[in-house]
Amino acid sequence: MKTVIFDLDGTLADTSGDLIEAANCCFVDMGAGAMLDPVADAGTALRGGRAMLMLGLSRLGRVHDTATLDRYYPLLLSAYEGAIDVHTVMYPGAMDAVERLKSDGYGVGICTNKPEALAELLLQKLGVRDVFQSMIGADTLPVRKPDPEPLREAARRAGGHPDHCVLIGDSDTDRNTARAAGVPSVLVTFGPAGGDMAALKPEALLDDFADLPDVVRRLIG
């Protein structure tokens, strides 16, 4: 079986609002107030918790304060777990495209650098977990993206051969993961960093999920 594997944050769902809220909980606890903006800093949010803490600390003039970053990272994860789906929404047409791919005979799965437990929780809260045949998180395996093995394992667990898959993502990490695995990537242009995707030279760009089935068919048959 051929498989279509998706990144989660910034690809299937806009999770930036809830991630920013969790990071700001940390900065409030430090006595600094909300240091991150849910719109202006959305791109940083989709790069993960540590990236958000680093950005906020840099604005406080503490760019090298790794001890504070390490101390607050677990608090960020806890705050995020407690309010993981307040602002998060699936991108328009995402699940329609996934269902169409399944009906066309493709396996579908997720490969994310979000911790597995948080990814599973979010997908359950959004009511879409059962649609996907596999879900590999940052800590499911000993390695994470851009190592190719999480992508390859996501394809296997979705019932496919890892040489016959495509990765749908939104970052250089996704592009590099697919390249390392020797398979094509499709990068979405509707996320916060959408304008930067063309420079990464993926096999395809995606402006609208309605076009995804045709793009997948062209790339992997």
Token readout for 45 is 């949010």
Report d(CA 178, CA 152) in Å as an integer.
9
CA dist 78 to 12, 42, 56, 65, 163, Å? 23, 20, 18, 21, 37
Report d(CA 25, CA 6) in Å as an integer.
29
In the residue annotation, 7 being an active-site residue is answered as: yes
Q: Give which of 26, 123, 116, 8 is closest to 74, Cα–Cα.
A: 26
What is the DSSP annotation of 166-192? EEEESSHHHHHHHHHHT--EEEESSST
Cβ contact 165:2 at 8 Å: yes
Residue 109 CB contacts under 8 Å (≥ 6 apart), including other chains: 3, 4, 5, 6, 132, 133, 134, 135, 136, 154, 155, 157, 158
Choosing from 7, 9, 14, 18, the catalytic residue is 7
Residues annotated as part of the active site: 7
